[in-house]
Amino acid sequence: MAFSLTERQYLGIHGLLPPAFMTQEQQAYRVMSRIREEPDNLQKYIILDELQCRTEKLFYRVLCENVKELMPIVYTPTVGLACQKFGFIYRHPKSVLHLSAIFLVL
């Protein structure tokens, strides 16, 4: 949604994205509004984790602009709770590379 019409046409993605245009600033505002609505820190963590998987650039913008507010969510104590409840909140795989085993796979 952050691509302008000109950028979409240049990249050949016009028609492949939602028709609305939103700046990254507007998207960051919406993300923070959604996070602030949520009373549970674990749910806030899940929202941020999903954002990081979808669009890392927006994730880091939101995090950098709201460090004091979000640090307890992306660091202790919430991450410890997320680790304890990992089986209940697992959403998607993340890669872990074991360099000594890569040559066996290739």
CATH number for the domain that contains residue 52: 1.20.1370.30
CB burial string 26-53: b at 16+ within 10 A, e below: ebbeebeeebeeeeeebbbbbbbbebbe
Average the pLDDT over 19-34 and give the result: 93
Asked if pLDDT for residue 65 goes beyond 90, the answer is: yes
Residue range of the domain that includes 32: 5-105
41 membership: H or E segment, kind and range = helix 41-54
Provide φ and ψ at 23, rounded to 5°.
-70, 165
Q: Confidence class of residue 20 from pLDDT cuts 50, 70 and 90?
A: confident
93: pLDDT strictly greater than 70: no
Mean pLDDT of all residues belonging to the chain: 86
Average pLDDT, integer, range 51-74: 94
Structure tokens at 10: 């240049």
Number of domains in the chain: 1
